Amino acid sequence: MKLIVFDLDDTLYSATSGVFARMDKKINAFVMRELGLAPDAADRLRRDYWRRYGTTLRGLMLHHGVDPERFLQEVHDVRPHELLGPDPELDAALAAIPARKVVHTNAIREHAERVLAALGVRHHFAAIYDIRFDAYRPKPNARALARILRQEGAKPHETLVVDDQPANLAAAARLGCRTVLVSAHKGHWRMRIPRVHLLPAWLERVHAQFGFAWA
Ligand SMILES: [Mg+2]
The values of phi and psi at residue 129, to 5°, are -105, 115
Report the interhelical angle of 56-64 vs 39-53 (nearest 10°). 100
pTM (predicted TM-score): 0.94
Cis, bond preceding 200 (omega within 30 deg of 0): no
Cα(170) to ligand 1 centroid in Å equals 14
Cα(205) to ligand 1 centroid in Å equals 24
Cα(202) to ligand 1 centroid in Å equals 19
Report how far Cα 35 is from the mean position of its chain's Cα atoms. Answer: 27
CATH class for the region spanning 3-14+85-210: alpha beta
> Taking the domains of the chain in order of start, what are their residue ranges?
3-14+85-210, 19-75
Cα(162) to ligand 1 centroid in Å equals 9
Render pLDDT for 162-174 as a digit per residue (tens, 0 to 9): 999 999 999 999 9
CATH class for the region spanning 19-75: mainly alpha
Contacts by 18-23 with C-beta closer than 8 Å and gap 24+?
18/83, 19/78, 19/80, 19/83, 19/84, 19/115, 22/78, 22/79, 22/83, 23/75, 23/76, 23/78
Closest CA to 68 of 77, 76, 60: 60
Render pLDDT for 93-115 as a digit per residue (tens, 0 to 9): 999 999 999 999 999 999 999 99
Render pLDDT for 34-45 as a digit per residue (tens, 0 to 9): 999 999 999 999
